């Protein structure tokens, strides 16, 4: 059941669950939010969660567990080696993906580390539809380079293209011809593409791309961390799949790949990860990395309680009612804000609603991190924590200059089964207010800049007194208590 019909009004997204456990939220007064933002170095990652009203930073590890997931945690088998919990998890993943070989890890970036460590040699090329921050960092740290071959139209902020995450097949062939098939470590496809707005990739495109890779003997890798959102779009936007179940679509996708990895912090509603390896010989080659970097082969750094919960979560991910809510809430937020004139990434994708910061803060140079500034401003104007996805999330060029991002976005993540419609309406209201006062927002500059993944722990400062001026206007409309 994707959409509930209403008798006397237009449909709105419906929560297909009831709330049984709650966590109290606090909205700090506006002046306190400014003080907290200064303490955090204008980096929303460094805010304390207790100082946040609406935490829309990420969907990673913050999704709500179901009653069945929580109850499953009670039967976890704590054995260091040979835990029955592992075998239940492995068997469920084989049932869903058709791959019997599972390497457990503590989370998705551990999977990326192990895959890159095994395959990537200095000078190697890795083809991707689009990179994720950690997936690229693991490759470049080992001396490889990433070729992002997403179709050009996938980077157009506002469009009606249903699968903006699709890779450009002509570019794939051209890259293979340029690099040589032997120099391409693997083809990695991300379903859906995190850094361009959670935009999905079609099954048809995945099949065509993996067919090319197979033609040249290039290993194929699927990042399935955001697969559940992508599955929703495969079923609702891809004509050839509309009559198939989510399980059937999942299996068709899985059959295309040699390796599938996932962050259980997204896929499965828990906190962990795993690598599924089709070839048994390769599976045994990768085992050594698990014992060296993660833990024993039957827990891989995960809590067995989380593993039991995720095993139930995998089943819930195959439930269309369960995976519908997040894309529908995101679509609602995107459509409402778009109608209010706020530049959004359209169509709505998975993971979150994405604001086109490059257009909202067109007066702020890319070198002053407009998406980062807009994220900070949104916390000041409503206690909402979003995430910068733009130049601040890139690494500098070798000469020290900024690598300007293709897109500058603010991500408002919708953790699965967490927020209500009224909370979503609050976010829409505050984003609209901020957009109408965007001329008050200025840029940011680094105070302390880490060399790698600087957006996580770097600290910044405003280039002027714009935060104070913005808050002055905010309090004139809402008062000091909000």
The active-site residue, picked from 86, 130, 132, 163, is 132
Within 8 A by CB and 6+ apart from 421, the residues are: 12, 13, 15, 329, 332
The active-site residue, picked from 168, 223, 258, 315, is 223
**Closest-CA residue to 467 (of 26, 27, 25, 39):** 39
User: Two tokens at 400?
Assistant: 């020290």
The active-site residue, picked from 233, 329, 455, 474, is 455
CA distances from 470 to 194, 210, 344, 372, 439 (A): 30, 49, 22, 15, 9
Strands 384-385 and 54-55 turn out to be parallel
Count other C-beta atoms under 10 Å from residue 321's C-beta.
12
3-state secondary structure of 327: helix
The active-site residue, picked from 188, 271, 389, 416, is 389
Q: Please confirm, yes or no, whether 80 is among the known catalytic residues.
A: yes
Within 8 A by CB and 6+ apart from 43, the residues are: 372, 455, 457, 458, 459, 460
Q: Please confirm, yes or no, whether 233 is among the known catalytic residues.
A: no
The whole-angstrom separation of Cα 379 and Cα 466 is: 14
Q: Please confirm, yes or no, whether 448 is among the known catalytic residues.
A: no
The whole-angstrom separation of Cα 302 and Cα 39 is: 32
The active-site residue, picked from 33, 88, 109, 266, is 266
Residue 56: half-sphere exposure toward Cβ, Cα within 13 Å: 35
Q: Please confirm, yes or no, whether 132 is among the known catalytic residues.
A: yes
Strands 387-389 and 409-413 turn out to be antiparallel
The active-site residue, picked from 6, 80, 87, 456, is 80
Buried b (16+ CB within 10 A) or exposed e, 371-410: bbbbbbbbbbbbbbbbbbbbbbbbbeeeeeebeebbbbbb
Q: Please confirm, yes or no, whether 455 is among the known catalytic residues.
A: yes
The whole-angstrom separation of Cα 81 and Cα 409 is: 44
Within 8 A by CB and 6+ apart from 214, the residues are: 220
The whole-angstrom separation of Cα 69 and Cα 61 is: 14
The active-site residue, picked from 58, 85, 105, 133, is 133
Catalytic positions: 80, 132-133, 223, 266, 389, 455
């Amino acid at each position: 059941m994707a959409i509930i019909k209403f008798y006397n009004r237009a449909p709105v997204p419906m929560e297909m669950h009831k709330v049984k456990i709650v966590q109290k939220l606090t909205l700090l007064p506006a002046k306190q939010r400014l003080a907290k933002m200064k303490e955090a170095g204008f980096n929303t990652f460094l805010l304390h969660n207790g100082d946040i009203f609406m935490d829309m930073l990420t969907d990673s590890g913050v999704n709500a567990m179901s009653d069945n997931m929580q109850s499953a945690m009670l039967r976890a088998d704590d054995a260091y080696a040979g835990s029955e919990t592992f075998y239940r998890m492995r068997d469920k993943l084989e049932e869903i993906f058709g791959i019997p070989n599972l390497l457990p890890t503590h989370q998705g970036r551990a999977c990326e580390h192990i895959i890159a460590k095994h395959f990537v040699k200095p000078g190697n090329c890795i083809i991707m539809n689009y990179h994720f921050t950690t997936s690229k960092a693991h490759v470049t740290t080992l001396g490889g380079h990433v070729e992002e071959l997403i179709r050009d139209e996938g980077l157009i902020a506002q469009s009606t293209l249903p699968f903006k995450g699709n890779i450009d097949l002509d570019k794939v062939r051209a890259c293979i011809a340029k690099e040589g098939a032997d120099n391409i470590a693997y083809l990695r496809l991300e379903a859906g593409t995190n850094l361009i707005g959670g935009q999905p990739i079609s099954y048809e495109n995945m099949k065509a791309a993996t067919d090319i890779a197979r033609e040249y003997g290039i290993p194929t890798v699927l990042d399935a961390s955001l697969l559940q959102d992508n599955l929703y779009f495969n079923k609702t936007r891809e004509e050839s799949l509309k009559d198939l179940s989510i399980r059937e679509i999942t299996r068709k996708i899985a059959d295309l790949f040699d390796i599938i990895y996932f962050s259980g912090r997204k896929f499965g509603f828990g906190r962990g990860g795993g690598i599924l390896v089709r070839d048994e010989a390769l599976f045994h080659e990768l085992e050594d990395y698990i014992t060296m970097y993660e833990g024993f082969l039957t827990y891989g750094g995960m809590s067995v309680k989380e593993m039991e919960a995720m095993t139930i979560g995998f089943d819930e991910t195959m439930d269309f009612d369960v995976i519908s809510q997040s894309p529908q809430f995101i679509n609602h937020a995107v459509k409402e804000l778009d109608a209010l004139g706020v530049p959004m990434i359209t169509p709505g994708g998975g993971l979150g609603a994405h604001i086109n910061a490059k257009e909202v803060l067109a007066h702020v140079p890319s070198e002053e991190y407009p998406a980062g500034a807009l994220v900070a401003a949104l916390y000041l104007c409503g206690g909402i924590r979003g995430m910068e996805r733009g130049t601040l999330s890139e690494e500098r060029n070798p000469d020290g200059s900024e690598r300007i991002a293709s897109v500058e976005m603010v991500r408002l993540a919708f953790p699965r089964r967490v927020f209500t419609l009224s909370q979503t309406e609050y976010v829409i209201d505050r984003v609209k207010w901020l957009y109408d006062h965007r001329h008050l927002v200025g840029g940011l500059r680094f105070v302390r800049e880490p060399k790698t993944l600087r957006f996580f722990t770097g600290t910044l400062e405003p280039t002027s007194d714009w935060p104070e001026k913005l808050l002055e206007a905010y309090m004139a409309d809402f008062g000091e208590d909000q």
